[in-house]
């Protein structure tokens, strides 16, 4: 009679799964898996072992593309905007920080309780002094990330990683007219690559920067240039991490992307923001008409918008280091630009880079 009463409940009620529990378990499992895969890749690279290229077959690519990554990304985007209870913010964000190696000492606001949801945490701003912009070199990194590839464009093919290429024309789409890009020079050749080069003696260069989930998610202007045109390709939202980039040829051509084209002092210049799995949101600060990962889209289509108008004959001028846009979660930036033959990259494939550091110069 002196024993305390033990209150019980049906087993089904005790172990009933809730959406939040499923989200935490799935997200935690995926984070652990990605951490392990990245660790294996890093160990191979440290040992100087080149990871062999093993391209996916057509049916494997088709199977991957059949996964509703756009729908899942929109769902994940909405979950990211759900406000977390104050008591839950620190443990959730701390897990993310540990998993992806986030340096919160660089954040403008270090207090984790400040970020109401995951979306705000992903898009956190940095302290002004955290990323000094190199004033010596002509082209800087527009974002934090990892250099996947760089060099001259050859035979209208661009390497997304070493040994895996994609078509320059498929990636950028049909050439925009010289009048719309505000060029005075006429194209010098017949191939798509030659049509982009506006000055004799110049070459076309490219640089691919992968933003990991733990990186700073805003991107900036890599040089002084003028943006004349925007082309938006709705598409798949497959992962763009280096492992998948080695596996799927023309991965960047399959995925949703926003291509900004214009000119700088040496001719043609373009910056492309490539979307990826989860959220799939790309924002360009000066382009309020851009809406990415929309439920309604036509496969293989694209839409154009010109910043040249009767009221604006020049386009959108951008200064080196100026805020340009942002991703929700990690993705990829691809630079394709024209420069004289003596342009040199100050890079190594696979190296980590931060926004503001030099990419190359004359």
User: In sequence order, what E strands does the chain have?
Assistant: 139-140, 145-152, 157-161, 164-167, 202-210, 218-220, 225-233, 257-264, 267-274, 282-284, 303-306, 316-318, 323-327, 332-340, 344-345, 352-353, 358-361
CA 137 to CA 125: how far, in whole Å? 24
293 vs 179, higher pLDDT: 293
- Is this model's pTM higher than 0.85 or not? no
In this structure, of 16-25, 56-65, 70-79, 104-113, the range with the lowest mean pLDDT score is 16-25
Q: What is the mean pLDDT of residues 45-61?
A: 70
pLDDT in tens, 184-196: 454 555 788 888 9
Report pLDDT for 55. Answer: 78
Measured in residues, the chain has a length of 362
Q: What is the mean pLDDT of residues 336-348?
A: 93
Nearest to 318 by CA among 230, 220, 232, 179: 220
Report pLDDT for 344. Answer: 93
User: Is residue 151 helix, strand or coil?
Assistant: strand
Task: Identify how many contiguous H helices and E strands the chain contains and give both numbers.
Answer: 10, 17
DSSP per-residue letters across 8-43:
---HHHHT---HHHHHHHHHHHHHHHHHHHHHHHHH
Q: What is the mean pLDDT of residues 299-319?
A: 87
Q: Give the tokens for residue 243.
A: 């492992």
pLDDT above 80: residue 45: no
3 vs 111, higher pLDDT: 111
- Cβ atoms < 10 Å from Cβ of 51: 15
Report pLDDT for 186. Answer: 47
CA 4 to CA 2: how far, in whole Å? 7
Report pLDDT for 114. Answer: 94
Task: List residues bridging with 323 in a β-sheet.
Answer: 220
Report pLDDT for 14. Answer: 44
Residues serving a catalytic function are 144, 220, 331
CA 232 to CA 250: how far, in whole Å? 17
pLDDT in tens, 136-164: 889 999 999 999 999 999 888 888 877 78
pLDDT above 80: residue 101: yes
């Amino acid at each position: 009679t002196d024993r305390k009463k033990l209150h019980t409940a049906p087993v089904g009620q005790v172990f009933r799964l809730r959406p939040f529990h499923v989200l935490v378990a799935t997200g935690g499992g995926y984070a652990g898996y990605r951490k392990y895969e990245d660790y294996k890749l890093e160990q191979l690279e440290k040992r100087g072992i080149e990871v062999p290229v093993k391209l996916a077959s057509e049916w494997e690519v088709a199977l991957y593309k059949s996964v509703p990554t756009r729908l899942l990304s929109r769902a994940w985007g909405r979950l990211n905007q759900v406000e977390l209870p104050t008591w839950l913010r620190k443990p959730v964000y701390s897990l993310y920080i540990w998993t992806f190696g986030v340096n919160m000492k660089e954040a403008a606001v270090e207090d984790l309780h400040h970020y109401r949801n995951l979306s705000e945490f992903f898009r956190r701003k940095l302290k002004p002094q955290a990323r000094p912009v190199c004033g010596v070199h002509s082209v800087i990194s527009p974002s934090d990330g990892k250099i996947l590839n760089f060099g001259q464009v050859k035979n209208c093919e661009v390497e997304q990683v070493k040994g895996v290429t994609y078509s320059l024309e498929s990636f950028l789409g049909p050439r925009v007219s010289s009048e719309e890009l505000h060029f005075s020079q006429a194209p010098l050749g017949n191939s798509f690559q030659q049509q982009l080069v506006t000055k004799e003696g110049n070459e076309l260069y490219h640089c691919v920067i992968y933003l990991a989930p733990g990186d700073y998610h805003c991107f900036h202007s890599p040089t002084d240039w003028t943006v004349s045109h925007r082309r938006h390709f709705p598409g798949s939202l497959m992962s763009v991490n280096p492992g998948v980039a080695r596996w799927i040829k023309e991965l960047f051509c399959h995925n949703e992307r926003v291509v900004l084209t214009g000119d700088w002092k040496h001719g043609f210049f373009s910056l492309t923001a490539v979307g990826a799995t989860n959220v799939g949101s790309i924002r360009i600060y000066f382009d309020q008409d851009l809406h990415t990962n929309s439920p309604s889209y036509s496969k293989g289509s694209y839409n154009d918008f010109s910043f040249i108008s009767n009221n604006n004959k020049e386009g959108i001028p951008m200064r080196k280091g100026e805020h340009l846009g942002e991703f929700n979660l990690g993705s990829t930036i691809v630079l394709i630009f024209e420069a004289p033959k003596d342009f040199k990259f100050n890079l190594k494939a696979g190296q980590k880079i931060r926004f503001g550091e030099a990419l190359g110069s004359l």
